[in-house]
Structure 1
Amino acid sequence: MDPLTEPDAGSLASLPAAAVGLRVYFGVATVMFLLIAVTFVMRMGGHGPSTGQQPDWKPMFWPPLLWFNTGVLILSSAAWQWAHVAGRRGQMENLRAGLIAGGVLALVFLAGQLTVWRQLEDAGCGMTATTMSAFFYLMTALHGLHLLGGLAVWGRTTVKVLRRAEVAEVRQSVGLCAIYWHFLLLVWLVMFGLLLLNRR
């Protein structure tokens, strides 16, 4: 069963500790990302203070690689869902394949984001170039850190799977990771949409 929708899931006491912790995390992370998004939108609405004759908010150079990275993260989330469904059906081979694919694609996404950072530096849009670029680095860095946290759990779960653990031993971890990845995908799509408004 889905770790967050088991019978009597309306009561926190009926949920596994990991599921309760994930719910608390979602609440905290959602508030944090919403505050950043609201501040971004408010800041975007006006030029604010100026440095010399140039406003400190300018449209940012848009590396095309960001589109590729977004597609990779979508595929990673889909792979996690595949692993989750396989776990509920007791299909260990499919679970293993989805688990490995989801983690590897997440690593590809992070490598792509680091490459984007280098491309921005080369284009003169480094972290301190403008307020817009500072927001971009903040948003992508926080998102990347949360993804790294998920990869730590992925690593532990993958070791268990490769050591031929039973499906029942990893089903909950895979299910929670799938939900976590879907959340991070949603966060990224919202941020991606906001950033699109300021590309050049």
Structure 2
Amino acid sequence: MEETNKKYAVSNNSSNRSWYNSWHGSAQHALIHWGIFLIIAALAWSIVQGRVWNWVFSLSAPEPIVRLVKSSAQLLLDPQTTAVTEGETFSVDITLDSGQGGVDGVDIYSLNYDPSLLQVVDSDPEKPGVQIVPGDVLPVNVYNSVDTKAGNIKFSQLTNPGTTFTGRGVLATIPFKALSAGIAYLTFDFVKGSTVDSNVAYAGKDRLDRVTEGVYTIIPK
């Protein structure tokens, strides 16, 4: 029985080899072989062609157009917050940021504070009234006045005729004395689009878009 099985296995293996040799040498096998090769070659060419086309397109495509929107002007207080002790003096800068446009005039009308908490220290005792310290961003000082009873500051500057200011700088500095303990707010009169309050102007148009105000903590002695 075992010998019969061995003969069957040998016969079966011989038959398989014969079939494989016959199939491998047939025209049908050759067609399938070349068909698979052509499919692979076509796929490879398609990938290469796509990459080449993308490269050529990237060379000939125009550069994207970037449109920069001109940002509007801002008025900021620096520092925005700080803590001081009763009787202490400190300074707050009014900073002008023109954005990406020009400026030929600034009106601060008004900057408000609590006169029971803060006192503006006069920057020019030889002149009547109380004034803050002008900066040199805009060279022409038009108005500089502090109402110590109401607690408001009015300040106005212009550029020289035919010139504009672009950039960021200190418009004016306010020297304060802390009078009593509490939270002191420094706020602009400002409504966007209004021309009868604080504004930053160019060619007769208000460019002021935003103001940043201040909060100051006065600590008791």
Q: Which TM-score band applies after superposition, normalised by the shorter structure?
A: under 0.3
| Higher strand residue share | 2
Q: TM-score, normalised by structure 2?
A: 0.23
Q: Which has the higher Rg, Structure 1 or Structure 2?
A: 2
